[in-house]
Structure 1
Amino acid sequence: MKNQTIVVEFIIVGLSNKHHVNIILFAVLSVVFLLTVIGNIIVVTLSLVDHHLQSTMYFFLRNFSLLEISFTSVPMQRFLYSLLTERKFIPLPGYFLQLLGFFLQGTCVFFHVAIMSFDRYVPICRPLSYGTIMNGRVCFQLVLGCWVMSFLLVFPLTFMVVLLPVCGPNKPLNHFYCDTVPLLQLSCVDTEHIEAMLLVAAVVVLPGTLTVTIISYGCIICTIIWIPSTRGRKKAFSTCSAHLTVVVILYSSAIFRYIRPGQRGTQDFDKVVSLVFCVVAQLFKPYIYALHNEQVK
């Protein structure tokens, strides 16, 4: 117990300790981050200025793209700054804010994916009721509900994780952004109850929202099969293919990263999976929506 302390700042190790490697990483990740932001800005701009893209589907896509810009910016801005300046210290309030921002917006992304799946289901399976079910007020309430649910799930757990005592001051965290797993690995106290709560929250968010998506697309596929014309089936599926591709990329990386009983895994492997989840996967999303959507093209 005497070795436990409450730290006031942390050291984020990053991906490498070599200067020349950090310069290369800074150049590559800066381009990736820039392309991610530009791609999402293009989607947002097109959905605002083109009168053909004013349906609820593009309302949710616009909100999703704005959320993606903010979500990617939370870890990437601080990480790029540390690569350029090699300043790896981050104070406790900064760690808490980045951790809260990352998981709040990350959770909100999955809720958005679920309501976007439902928005695909309604016009295909219940076309006559689409205007009644998905009106402007309902769409706004769904987006607001995503943020409220995300905050209620994330804030208490984030606060508990940040206040965990660790073994000695200035212990380096083997990660490249503020995450829960490094703190759990450094903590001197028993974290089983927090790990269990994190796992429950992850199950609620990931398999919970994925279930909505699977049910929605199951109904969509059943409806598309009964469409008599080949052209009609192709048109109906083309509105869903981009979203379905994003779903596969997003959930496969996230479930592999966060759904497991023990959070004290291999740190270097966790960093690689996290890089795929919060950097690589975010890059492809706006371009998938643009390239797979005839109206956007």
Structure 2
Amino acid sequence: MRRRAATVDWSEPVLRLYLVGDTHVGAEACDEKRIERLAEIIADDPAGRVVGLGDYIEAIAPTDRRFDARELAQPIAPEHLTNPFYCQALRFCRLFEPTAGRWACVISGNHETTALSRYHFDATAVVAERMGTAYHGGADEGGWLQVRMKENGKLRNTVSVYIQHGWGGGEMRSADAGKLQRLLWRKAADVVAIAHVHRPMVFPETVEYIDRAGWEQVQTRWGVVAYPMVSKHGYIARRGGNAPAAGYAVVTIERQHDGAALIGAELRAL
């Protein structure tokens, strides 16, 4: 089934997209102080909008083989055990409350997908409603965002962003870079952004094409893996994983005088 992209109509010269994913609220490993600092940065940026890449909450039930009560966020109240996924979703929204109304779109991660398929709780819908955006994406945990850069009410340029939560996880960073590079080749997008692997990175890739006049041209596309907002999960540590780096990822879109869009992506320390 075909689907339409989420859209952002932007009339200012610069737009910054903050990529948020893998916060895992509800896990003891979730770094809530870091989340609060990021929320303040976004709230203080009038040119900032948020793109949600999934795994907002931990959503690991006692029946899950990964469940370990020692890895739950402390202190543990009774409602955290009787209605854990809803409490985690509300906690996520409270942490990001300063950014409400600034979210461009959200997709689900594998933790939200499991919560929905096994326990019939749609955490992504709760996040979307309370953050003031439309629930977007499908069962593939992916979707599209279309940024329409305007000037004096006229459309000057369109930037396409493909978002995907991500999948798998290799021992080497090169495995994650390979996944991202394949998406850059497969998707006709200016930017491809994923999460899931907890290994932040950013790099450009180029593709060649022929313009209407028959001249060979080169398009630069950006691939980004968002930062997680966690320390070291116990079940990741048991597989030999390290604590991920701390920071956040930003995609900047700048409208040029000729109407062209200058796109860049970067990782920033936090």
Normalising by structure 2, what TM-score?
Answer: 0.30
Which protein is bigger by CA-based radius of gyration? 1
Normalising by structure 1, what TM-score?
Answer: 0.28
Structure of higher RCO (CA pairs closer than 8 Å, 6+ residues apart) = 1
Q: Which structure has the highest helix share of the two? A: 1
Q: Which structure has the highest strand share of the two? A: 2
